[in-house]
Amino acid sequence: MEKTALVFLSLLLISSVLLILNLTLTGFSIENKNDFDYTWTKAICEGNTCRDFEIKCLNERVIDIKPISGFVIFNNDWQDLRNEEERRKIC
């Protein structure tokens, strides 16, 4: 009985320590993910092929960019109606 209680308490202690470490590491990680001014989505196109991206910016610089859709291919006569500045602006 003593041996079983000791094993149980040891496992409980180890689990508690791992849980605390995991919460601490997760909290730290989440805290660092918010190091940006704003995030937005933008279609980036080349010719008649476009893809949507999520873009995170800090001080007018790209911090992170990741695709959030597959490629969309329009007809060959498709034209992007955004002006040049809108097409080039990332942050």
Q: What 3-state class would DSSP assign to 19?
A: helix
Domain count of the fold of the chain: 2
Binning pLDDT at 50, 70 and 90, where does residue 87 land?
Answer: very high
Residues 30 and 64 in one domain: no
Domain that holds residue 3: 1-34
- Does residue 81 register a pLDDT over 90? yes
Residue 47 and residue 77 in one domain:
yes
Q: Are 53 and 42 in contact (CB under 8 A)?
A: yes
Same domain? 16 vs 54:
no
Residue 33 pLDDT:
54
Q: Which residue has the higher pLDDT, 80 or 2?
A: 80
Same domain? 8 vs 25: yes
Q: Examine the domain organization and report whether 27 and 61 are in the same domain.
A: no
Do both 49 and 81 map to the same domain?
yes
Distance in angstroms (rounded) separating the CA atoms of residues 26 and 30:
6
- In a shared domain, residues 51 and 29: no
- Same domain? For 11 and 26 the reply is yes
Closest C-alpha to 41, from 59, 61, 57, 60: 57
The whole-angstrom separation of Cα 89 and Cα 50 is 15
pLDDT, mean of residues 52-66: 95
In this structure, which amino acid lies at residue 80? D
pTM above 0.85, yes or no: no
